[in-house]
């Protein structure tokens, strides 16, 4: 148990080891999906939650690729989805004719990813797919689902490995359930 974990009401859901293994697995699946594509592959990380996952995932993909970041905010300071999505930071380079893989920390209501897909589609990429480390086991109204999923998890608020509680606990090396 990490020293940081002891200071908060959290319990481990997914260990560091399990994350490591899953990232390797996802990297292999993504590599075999894109290896025969000739157009460039660009990973679009969703700030800030995906940064740890993106850093590990890109090293598990054995293909040339570009990295871009997109800032999207759908959560305020609360632990429930507001349904309001806005761009806080846009891509720096064009994605026209490239294969875009959106890299997200967690697929909850799906509103963020839905918004991103629609927004990026308008820029004429060759394809758009979504990779999420976590997917919450809930009923959704959005008409999209991620193409690559690490773990399906129960409908609990989770922190760690990039996921925050009002900006804290992103630096937990494992994923924990937060229950005050």
Q: Does 106 bind ligand IMP (CB under 6 A)?
A: yes
Per-residue contact track with ligand IMP, 72 to 91, x per CB under 6 A?
--xx-----x----------
* Binding-residue total with ligand IMP (CB under 6 A): 18
CA angle, residues 131, 151, 162, in degrees to nearest 5: 70
90, 97, 108, 155: which is the annotated catalytic residue? 108
Residue 23 or 72: the one with the smaller Cβ distance to Mg ion is: 72
The residues pairing with 44 across neighbouring beta strands, listed in sequence order, are 68, 102
Q: How many Cα atoms are found within 13 Å in the side-chain-facing hemisphere of 144? A: 21
Q: Chain centroid to CA 176: how far?
A: 16
Q: Does 160 bind Mg ion (CB under 5 A)?
A: no
Q: Does 10 bind ligand IMP (CB under 6 A)?
A: no
Report the side by side order of strands in the sheet with 99-107.
86-89, 66-73, 41-47, 99-107, 127-136, 148-153
- Comparing CA positions, the residue from 51, 34, 52 lying closest to residue 127 is 34
Residue 56 or 104: the one with the smaller Cβ distance to ligand IMP is: 104
- Comparing CA positions, the residue from 50, 52, 49, 103 lying closest to residue 75 is 49
Q: Does 112 bind ligand IMP (CB under 6 A)?
A: yes
Question: CA dist 25 to 36, 56, 127, Å?
Answer: 19, 12, 22
Rule CB under 5 A: which of 6-65 touch Mg ion?
A: 49
101 binds, among ligand IMP, Mg ion, none (CB under 5 to 8 A by kind): none
Least distance between Mg ion and beta carbon 86 (Å): 13
Active site residues: 108
Binding site for ligand IMP (CB under 6 A): 46, 49, 74-75, 81, 104-112, 157-159, 163
């Amino acid at each position: 148990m990490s020293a940081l974990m002891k200071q908060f009401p959290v319990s481990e859901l997914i260990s560091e080891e399990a994350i490591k293994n899953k990232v390797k697995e996802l990297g292999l699946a993504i590599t075999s999906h894109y290896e025969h594509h000739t157009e460039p592959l660009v990973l679009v990380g969703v700030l800030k939650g995906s940064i740890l996952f993106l850093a590990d995932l890109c090293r598990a993909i054995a293909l040339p690729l570009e990295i871009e970041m997109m800032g999207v905010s759908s959560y305020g300071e609360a632990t429930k989805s507001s349904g309001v999505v806005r761009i806080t930071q846009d891509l720096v380079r064009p994605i026209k004719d490239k294969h875009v893989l959106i890299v997200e920390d967690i697929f909850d209501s799906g509103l963020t990813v839905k918004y991103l897909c629609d927004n990026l589609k308008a820029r004429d990429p060759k394809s758009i797919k979504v990779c999420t480390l976590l997917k919450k086991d809930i009923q959704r109204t959005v008409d999209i689902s991620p193409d690559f999923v690490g773990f399906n998890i129960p409908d609990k608020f989770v922190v760690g490995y990039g996921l925050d509680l009002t900006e804290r606990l992103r630096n937990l090396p494992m994923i924990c359930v937060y229950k005050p």
